[in-house]
């Protein structure tokens, strides 16, 4: 028997690497002499860089950047395969970097994300993947593009800094200073939201509240975002509101599309391609995946659906061990996952489940492999 383990982390309790250890121990106990192999996986959110670097044997690089409030900060990105870099925008412009009492999307910028990209370009990387999500910003990507040499100007010709408050001020765009390596670089944006830049489902009204936006602030920013979208259309001919995902990360998706000619792609699909997951499936009998909680959303760009479909396409059964099950969890059965094994083995409070996460996972792993053994006996 050959098993492949590819689970998302259980946030706050179990890392993907620890899950691999627990599955390996259990599999060898129930199937002595079996072959096991595990890879950490993420869906384009937190942990994506670590997962890709672990599999590709790449390196983590630390860079001095400016955070969402233009404070000095250290941020990291991954470098691998000699020509590739992978960046999580949240590493430089993430919401946790802003104290709760200072959260206001008018006052935040993606400048630091642009600095990470600039460093990757200066280091010679010409394949750059960027995970969107978890942003503290709603600046339309002006901050990031400013760090890459684009100038956003007000009506008097003054250069704007690229904060959210500048959306209402921008009147012209000068791209002549854009980093020259952009033209020869392939950018892939990991994005699983389809929100446009503006409108009721756009960046501001969908995500702005969680970044500290009051109704008054959001109305002001939406007016500015509409002005910005029109300017992009006038200057580039691209109507960003017709491109799904341009509202991601406070409009950073729009800037990447317009200025970097980036390809937008599902986070989990990008990660699986980067780690060459299909090659890892060769000779595998069963794949074990999972996540902390599985529900109807898991079928849309989450780790179990991505792993399940890749496995299904190769004719390999996949099963999921999960911390808990929510409404619509059975939808995952349409995406190559054949069964779900919850770790919870009795009635308990969430705090107890979290405290006992490792013990409960090990028990669920034992149950899973024992059930697989029964299936083999039936087949005989």
pLDDT of residue 277: 96
Domain parsing of the chain, residue ranges:
2-41+295-379, 48-267
Q: Dihedral sign, CA of 269, 295, 21, 287?
A: negative
Backbone angles phi, psi at 285, to 5 degrees: -95, -40
Half-sphere exposure of 82 (CA within 13 A, CB side): 0
pLDDT at 360: 96
Q: Which helix (H) or strand (E) holds 311?
A: helix 303-313
- What string of pLDDT tens digits covers the 380 residues of the chain? 999 999 999 988 999 999 999 999 999 999 999 999 999 999 888 889 999 999 999 999 999 999 999 999 999 999 999 999 999 999 999 999 999 999 999 999 999 999 999 999 999 999 999 999 889 999 999 999 999 999 999 999 999 999 999 999 999 999 999 999 999 999 999 988 889 999 999 999 999 999 999 999 999 999 999 999 999 999 999 999 999 999 999 999 999 999 999 999 999 999 999 999 999 999 999 999 999 999 998 888 899 999 999 999 999 999 999 999 999 999 999 999 999 999 999 988 989 999 999 999 999 999 999 999 998 888 77
What does CATH list as the number for 48-267? Answer: 3.90.1510.10
CATH number of 2-41+295-379: 3.40.50.10350
Residue 368 and residue 380: Cα distance in Å, rounded? Answer: 19
- State the Cα–Cα distance between residues 213 and 335, nearest whole angstrom: 37
Predicted local confidence at residue 45, as pLDDT: 82
């Amino acid at each position: 028997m050959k098993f492949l383990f590819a689970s998302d982390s259980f946030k706050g309790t179990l890392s993907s690497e620890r899950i691999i250890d627990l599955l390996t121990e259990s599999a060898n106990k129930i199937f002595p002499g079996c072959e096991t192999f595990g890879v950490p996986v993420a869906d384009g959110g937190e942990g994506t860089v670590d997962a890709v670097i672990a599999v590709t044997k790449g390196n983590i690089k630390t860079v001095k950047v400016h955070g969402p409030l233009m404070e000095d900060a250290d941020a990291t990105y991954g470098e691998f395969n000699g020509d590739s870099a992978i960046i999580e925008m949240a590493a430089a412009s993430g919401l946790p970097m802003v104290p709760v009492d200072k959260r206001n999307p008018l006052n935040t910028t993606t400048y630091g994300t642009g600095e990470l990209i600039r460093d990757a370009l200066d280091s010679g990387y010409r394949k750059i993947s960027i995970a969107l999500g978890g942003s503290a910003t709603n600046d339309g990507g002006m901050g990031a593009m400013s760090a890459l040499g684009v100038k956003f100007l007000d009506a008097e010709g003054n250069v704007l800094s690229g904060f959210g408050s500048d959306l209402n001020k921008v009147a012209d765009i000068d791209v002549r200073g854009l980093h020259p390596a952009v033209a020869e670089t392939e950018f892939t944006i990991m994005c699983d939201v389809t929100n446009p830049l503006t409108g009721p489902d756009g960046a501001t009204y969908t995500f702005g509240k969680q970044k500290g936006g009051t109704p008054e602030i959001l109305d002001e920013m939406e007016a500015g975002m509409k002005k910005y979208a029109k300017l992009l259309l006038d200057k580039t001919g691209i109507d960003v509101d017709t491109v799904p995902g341009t509202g991601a990360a406070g409009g950073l998706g729009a800037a990447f599309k317009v200025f970097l000619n980036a390809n937008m792609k599902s986070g989990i699909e990008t990660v699986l391609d980067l780690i060459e997951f299909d090659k890892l499936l060769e000779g595998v009998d069963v794949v074990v995946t999972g996540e902390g909680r599985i529900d109807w959303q898991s079928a849309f760009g989450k780790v179990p659906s991505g792993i399940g479909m890749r496995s299904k396409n190769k004719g390999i059964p996949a099963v999921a061990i999960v911390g808990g099950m929510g409404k619509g969890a059975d939808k995952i059965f349409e995406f190559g996952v054949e069964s779900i094994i919850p770790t919870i083995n009795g009635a308990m409070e969430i705090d107890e489940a979290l405290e006992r996460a490792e013990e409960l996972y090990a028990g669920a792993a034992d149950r899973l492999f024992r059930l697989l053994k029964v299936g083999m006996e039936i087949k005989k």
